[in-house]
């Protein structure tokens, strides 16, 4: 059965989630313990997302199925975090449970087979091509 979230879309969600987990706790004024825990989870998510075998992975070392299992575990940990830290702040509870449920949902609704496309590499090649052309034009303009 085809799942509604492609591995490319999941990669985008990963980076947005990591950025959100890093920034949102400070913006909401959550406790220092909860903020640091969420920021550490964000760093971990960013790390394994960059190493995942999907279209937005930089190294493509971690299979997509393993990544989705880590997302599910991360979702459970996120949802449990306010209880583990005994944080009774309603905002912390909402953020952690909401993010945890989103992680679990995304993990269960994502395809497991990525395409061979690699957007970071393609962007790097395009940038290198543009730099070579600009260098060539500059040399032509100055007569070198």
Burial class (CB in 10 A: 0-12, 13-18, 19+), 41: buried
Query: How confident is the model over 120-131, as a mean pLDDT?
Result: 76
What value does the mean pLDDT of the chain take?
A: 92
Residue 52's beta-bridge partner residues?
62
Q: How far is it, in rounded angstroms, from Cα 86 to Cα 1? A: 40
- Give the pLDDT confidence of 17-76 residue by residue, as tens digits: 999 999 999 999 999 999 999 999 999 999 999 999 999 999 999 999 999 999 999 999
Sorted by where each begins, the domain ranges of the chain are 7-115
- Report which of 47, 70, 69, 71 is spatially closest to residue 57, judged by C-alpha positions: 47
> Does the pLDDT value for residue 144 go beyond 70?
no
- Report which of 93, 92, 85 is spatially closest to residue 33, judged by C-alpha positions: 85
Assigned token pair, 60: 């493509």
Residue 50 parent element (H or E)? helix 32-50
Instruction: Give the number of other CB atoms < 10 A from CB of residue 107.
Output: 19
Identify the pLDDT of residue 132. Answer: 87
Q: CA of 54: how far to CAs of 7, 51, 67, 81, 114, in Å?
A: 6, 9, 10, 28, 5
pTM of the model: 0.80
Identify the pLDDT of residue 18. Answer: 97
């Amino acid at each position: 059965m085809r799942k509604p979230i492609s591995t490319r879309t999941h990669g985008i969600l990963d980076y947005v989630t990591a950025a959100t987990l890093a920034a949102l706790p400070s913006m909401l004024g959550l406790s220092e313990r909860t903020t640091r825990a969420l920021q550490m989870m964000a760093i971990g998510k960013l790390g394994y997302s960059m190493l995942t075998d999907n279209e937005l992975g930089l190294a493509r070392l971690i299979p997509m199925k393993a990544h989705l299992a880590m997302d599910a575990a991360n979702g459970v940990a996120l949802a449990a975090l306010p209880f583990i830290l005994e944080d009774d702040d309603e905002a912390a509870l909402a953020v952690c449970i909401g993010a945890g449920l989103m992680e679990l949902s995304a993990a269960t609704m994502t395809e497991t087979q990525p395409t061979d496309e690699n957007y970071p590499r393609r962007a790097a090649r395009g940038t290198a091509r543009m730099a070579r052309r600009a260098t060539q034009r500059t040399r032509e303009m100055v007569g070198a």
